Chain A
Amino acid sequence: MHIPDGYLSPATSVTLYSMCVPFMAKASKETKRKLNDKTVPLISLFSALSFVIMMFNVPLPGGTTGHAVGATITAIVLGPWIAMLSLTVALVIQALFFGDGGILALGANVFNMVIVMTLSGYFIYQILDRWSKTLVKRKVIFSAVAGYISINLAALCTAVELGIQPLLFHNNLGQSLYFPYGLNVSIPSMLIGHLTIAGFAEALVTGLILSWIYKTNPGIMTSNMNSVEKNYPIVKWGLIALGVLVILSPLGLLAPGTAWGEWGRIELEKLGLGYIPQGFDKWSNFWKAPLSQYNLPQSGNPTIGYMFSGFIGVFMTILVLSGTFWIMRRLSKNNILKVSKKPGKST
């Protein structure tokens, strides 16, 4: 999943770098508060471990092998913040010294493989853990599920970052300057690989390490290191989740149509596809009304139009999400705040 340099436009790279900054700042603050002067050795050692895990081949069902990132397990054991710093350092060393992943693309790689994975992995696990009833077997399975989902989320983010390249960055002849495929190609191809192979590698590594830790050194799980601050307001987590969704927002635009939904009728004709799928006209007319093929009416500039549509997409996602949160809160008497409170209990 390491994106090399040359796949992303500098604009995308810089955006993703800047998106990493607040998370890193938060992570170093939290880590320093929790560990004080033990931070340096602990982060260093676990960075080294992440590095080793990332280069470890895991045999998968069906005879293939795959690599895991190991972000979920690190986040579950050490907490998302310490895990975030450790994995970032490991990625930096991979990029700078071993040439794995680009240097301009480092922000993107850190965002996908570190921020998205540690946060989603940790919180999916914490939410599922409510049903584990302290049964180790269930915890192990839940951790594997969290690992599977989080690596696929990361793959999705990667696919979106790559897939928006041809739309936003091409020269006036229509030649794409960076990654040449749109979301319709990048999302399925990334997800197929991760849903089938890398997902299982991550799930296996997460589950196996956790079961081993429970067998040999359960004390590490009850130490206060992996707990997130007790009264952490859910609002902030909602915001972080939204941050992830901002990246995913182009998906919101895709949702109503088919996978080809983002291409207008004329573009399809330009594509050289000799025919227009039946019913496409109907869909595109339907869609023309609210968003007018992503272009602002009379704007003429596809990029601005796309971005504008993007913002609308984000806005709509926020609406849908806040609605969902609200409904979830009302549905469960122990409102969702408990989720983030729970790990604090062990301290």
Chain B
Amino acid sequence: MSFLEQNLHHITETLQNTLYVEHITKLPGLIQHLDPRTRIICFCLLLMSVNLSKNIVFILSVYVFLLLLAYASQIPLKFFIMRVWMFLPFFTGIIALPAIFNVFTPGNALLTLINLPNYHLYISITQNGVFSAAYLLTRVATSVSSAILLVLTTDWIQLLKSLERLHVPKMFIIVSLITYRYIFVLLKTTNNMLLSRKSRMIGKPQNQTHRWWIGGTLGTLFNKTQTLSEDVYKAMRSRGYANQIIILSDFHYQFVDYVAIGVTFTLIVMLYFIWN
């Protein structure tokens, strides 16, 4: 696949992905009923506990809990699991694999693979190695799953707005909101440039011409971004922006929110005591 197609594919995928996520965030599931702030708090509790834990069984129990939550939030479980495990083996899996051998992690041998004492060559799979790799894999999988669960169930815009009530600086929130909006404008522009390039491409051009062209594409984007930011500033100013932005938000804690935070917290504490 040429780099042009790679990029086109990547952009299209990103755009489609956002549409699909938007669809899920609107389903009447369990998490979708909670206030965005509750979700953030519960998510942080889970993420911290997973990363602090020294017990694999604890981490796995949290993963099971996440699966239950996903199910209750009407997320297709196959999609939820695949989204993590499709990529994990290729990234973290490859990284974790060598750690099981004594070369990287010394320890009691579970399985000796090569033993040639004359050549000072001894390779085995060690218990410590297997555990080290398992720690990494389960921790990453559970952390990523919890993040995905949050992203899939939460309207990004709602999430950012709710952060204001959690005392995140307003400037950061507003910048992120506008950034989010213009990512799509710029992605679309890039897509059009790539397509027009593709339509004019005859034969197989040299990599070098490609590179020059990339300079042009990204350079054009740079210039465009510069003018766009000037224009957007004017558009904001025209409608009354002067250094302050007011966010219209109506988030209310309900009884169910307190219950959710309480349940998550109790569960983590309970699991901790069961497995330690």
Contacts and interface: CB of A to CB of B under 8 A. Distances in A.
A104 B49 CA distance: 12
A275 B171 contact: no
B96 interface: yes
Contacts of A211: 215, 219
Interface string B183-211: 10111001000000000000000010011
Contacts of A49: 186, 221-222, 225
Nearest to B216: A212
Interface residues of B, number: 88
Contact of A44 (B50, B144, B178): B178
Contact of B175 (A44, A61, A174, A274): A44
Contacts of B176: 44, 47, 89, 92-93
Interface string A1-12: 000111101100
B73 interface: no
B10 A55 contact: yes
A204 interface: yes
Contact of B222 (A174, A213, A270): A213
B233 A10 contact: no
A36 B243 contact: yes
A191 interface: no
Interface string A90-105: 1011011111001110
B106 A5 contact: no
A180 B236 contact: no
Among B141, B225, B241, the most chain A Cβ lie within 10 Å of the Cβ of B225
Nearest to A39: B171
Interface stretch (B27-35, B120-128, B250-258, B263-271): B120-128
Interface string A28-66: 100000001111111111111101110111111101010
Nearest to B242: A37
For chain B, what secondary structure do more than half of its interface residues adopt (helix, strand, loop), or is it mixed?
helix
A77 interface: yes
Given A5-B147, A96-B151, A96-B156, A180 B218 contact: no
A274 B117 contact: yes
B275 interface: no
B3 A181 contact: no
B136 A180 contact: yes
Given A6-B142, A45-B225, A93-B176, A56 B7 contact: yes
A44 B229 contact: yes
- Report whether over half of chain A's contact residues are helix, strand or loop; otherwise say mixed: helix
Interface residues of A, number: 79
B220 interface: yes
A148 interface: no
A274 B218 CA distance: 54
Contacts of A89: 172, 175-176, 179
A209 B215 contact: yes
Nearest to A140: B215
B140 A6 contact: yes
A205 interface: yes
A175 B128 contact: yes
B151 A212 contact: no
B183 A51 contact: yes
Contact of B3 (A58, A93, A216): A58
A5 B143 contact: yes
A239 interface: no
B131 interface: yes
B7 A179 contact: no
Given A44-B182, A48-B186, A173-B131, A213 B233 contact: no
A329 B108 CA distance: 56
B147 A99 contact: yes
A197 interface: no
B92 A4 contact: yes
B20 interface: no
16 contacts: A5-B51, A5-B144, A9-B51, A37-B242, A40-B174, A48-B186, A52-B186, A56-B214, A93-B183, A97-B180, A98-B17, A104-B48, A173-B107, A178-B136, A208-B218, A212-B220
Task: Return the 6 tightest CB-CB contacts between A and B, nearest first.
Answer: A212-B219, A208-B215, A5-B143, A6-B140, A6-B139, A44-B178
Given A41-B229, A44-B179, 5 more contacts: A41-B232, A51-B179, A92-B176, A174-B105, A270-B106
